[in-house]
A and B are shown apart, each in its own frame.
Chain A
Amino acid sequence: MIELHNVTKYYKTANEKKYILDNVTITIPSDVNVGILGRNGAGKSTLLRMLGGIDFPNSGIISSPNSFSWPMGLAGGFQGSMSGRQNVKFVCRIYGKSDYEIEEAIESVREFAEIGDYFDMPIKTYSSGMKSRLSFGLSLVFDFDYLIIDETLSVGDKNFQEKSKKALRKKIENCNVLLVSHSMPVLKELCDVGIVVHKGQMHYCNNIEDAIATYNKINK
């Protein structure tokens, strides 16, 4: 369960405040997979970052008894000068894993990511597809209550997309997902409910189909 209480978030531009969320109060119930829709710049990624605990509202409270993954996205989260293996070790360490668990995690990420020798090369030599393979593989190692995923499912080749969707479906038997995507089939397939972020408001829809319909209306 996630509760937002009078949450306001804005960015200051040259001469005005651009509101991402304007005094939003909403409760997202437990045990549902949430698809998040909105136009570019509507604040979807900011919302995910706030839920992940690395960005903060200007006022109001976001609270949840659950654990969240880091926002898995195309950018960030990896230190460019470190290799894939070193980054996996780093993330395991900050989550307080033992050496044995770290070895296990390295093996499973290496197997999942299928990036071959690049696993021991600096991340800055990776393509964006390889980065998201690594990021996604790494997130599967941990047991979060919520996985926060920002568009990563739409990168990589067909083969890998299928593989990660399959892995995700298996994963969300035991946890929930907060998913930002512009791909309606992916949203329909994985999510139960939807949130449309538009003009500083969050429209909660009990059904992902309704959320897609609302989103399409906005875009007309």
Chain B
Amino acid sequence: MLFMNKRTSIEIFKSVVLALFLREVQTRFGTKKLGYFWAVFDAMFMVLIFAGLKSAISSKSMPGLDFPVFLATSFLAFFLWRNIVSQSMHAFEANKALFAYKQVKPFDTIVTRVLLELLVSSVATLIFIGIGLYMGLDISVKNFNMVMLAVVWLCIFGFALGLMNAVFAYFYEFYAKIVNVLMAPLMFVSAIMYSVDSLPPVLRKIILYNPLTHFIEMIHGYYFHPLTTQYVDYEYMLYWTLIPLWIGLFFYKRSEKRILSS
């Protein structure tokens, strides 16, 4: 017989997130045989395609670094962020059946999906490092701690947007459609296949309105020896993290009961 002992809310939160995490691992990857494959290889295909394109157009435009490594850091970071935002948006709907247990809160499903994307991205990164070493590419990092800080911050930024989107998309179907439309061209305007410095000043100004550009530039600037973080505006990044986080938490708190009971 299993006895019901009183647990603190933190203990409940931890056991729920663990249970949800294991469930997501099984349903996302277990049921579809190619699930694991796609999780890791979509970034790899992008690197291959754009590295190929680049070498076809011009042989050397970023002196002092290996361009495939540049692309790899970009796409790993971009897919991590994009998947966190898009997976969070549908987390409530996908776990609705499990809200029958009062321990499971909608918020937990978002945290779970962020952790899951982090795991997928970590595995992909390890594979990329393996390939880089095998091919003899220069994968050395200029400032490891700052790169890690940038990645963690990027995850928090994704979580904040994801939470906010999840709440709005749950009540307004149209909202999810708009977000998807906005996300589509983002890959091309986030300094992923090029550096901000390589752009003409007019374009530079425009592209720096995109907060994601700053995150990618921060990672590049601290990863590669020849690059700098001169265009990174930390204050701007902080606004883009804290404001969605506040809006997300505020509206989540207000609508948690409606999400649970609808």
Residues on A lying within 8 angstroms of B by beta carbon are 49, 52-56, 67-68, 70-71, 76-82, 86, 89-97, 101, 105, 122, 141-145
Chain A hits for B122, CB < 8 A: none
B55 within 8 A of A: no
Are A141 and B2 in contact, with the CB atoms below 8 A?
A: yes
Chain B hits for A89, CB < 8 A: 19, 22
18 cross-chain CB contacts under 8 A: A54-B261, A56-B257, A67-B4, A68-B102, A70-B101, A71-B100, A77-B97, A81-B27, A89-B19, A89-B22, A90-B23, A93-B19, A93-B22, A94-B12, A95-B103, A101-B2, A143-B1, A144-B4
Q: From residue A35, how far is it (CB to closest CB) to chain B in Å?
A: 22
Beyond A86-B26, A96-B15, 5 extra complex contacts between A and B, CB < 8 Å: A53-B102, A68-B102, A89-B22, A90-B23, A141-B2
Are A52 and B102 in contact, with the CB atoms below 8 A?
A: yes
Chain B hits for A71, CB < 8 A: 100
B147 within 8 A of A: no
Instruction: How many A-B residue pairs have C-beta atoms within 8 angstroms? Tell me.
Output: 81
Chain B hits for A81, CB < 8 A: 27, 31
Q: From residue A103, how far is it (CB to closest CB) to chain B in Å?
A: 12
Residues on B lying within 8 angstroms of A by beta carbon are 1-4, 7, 11-12, 15-16, 18-19, 22-23, 26-27, 31, 95, 97-104, 257, 260-261
Q: From residue B29, how far is it (CB to closest CB) to chain A in Å?
A: 12
- A144 and B4 alpha carbons, distance in the complex (Å): 7
Chain B hits for A101, CB < 8 A: 2
- A79 and B19 alpha carbons, distance in the complex (Å): 13
Q: From residue B155, how far is it (CB to closest CB) to chain A in Å?
A: 24
Are B97 and A76 in contact, with the CB atoms below 8 A?
A: yes
A56-B257, A97-B2, A101-B2 as given contacts; A76 in contact with B19, CB under 8 Å: no
Residue of A nearest to B27 (CB): A81
A54-B260, A79-B98 as given contacts; A94 in contact with B27, CB under 8 Å: no
Are B23 and A86 in contact, with the CB atoms below 8 A?
A: yes
- A77 and B100 alpha carbons, distance in the complex (Å): 5
Are A55 and B27 in contact, with the CB atoms below 8 A?
A: no
Are A80 and B97 in contact, with the CB atoms below 8 A?
A: yes
Q: From residue A210, how far is it (CB to closest CB) to chain B in Å?
A: 32
- A71 and B100 alpha carbons, distance in the complex (Å): 7
Are B97 and A79 in contact, with the CB atoms below 8 A?
A: yes
- A90 and B25 alpha carbons, distance in the complex (Å): 12
- A92 and B15 alpha carbons, distance in the complex (Å): 10
- A52 and B100 alpha carbons, distance in the complex (Å): 9
Are A94 and B103 in contact, with the CB atoms below 8 A?
A: yes
Q: From residue A220, how far is it (CB to closest CB) to chain B in Å?
A: 33
Question: Which of A79, A93, A95, A96 is B27 in contact with, Cβ under 8 Å?
Answer: A79
Chain A hits for B7, CB < 8 A: 96
- A55 and B4 alpha carbons, distance in the complex (Å): 22
Q: Which 10 pairs, one residue from A and one from B, show the smallest C-beta to C-beta distance?
A: A93-B19, A53-B102, A77-B100, A55-B261, A96-B15, A76-B100, A56-B257, A94-B103, A94-B19, A67-B4
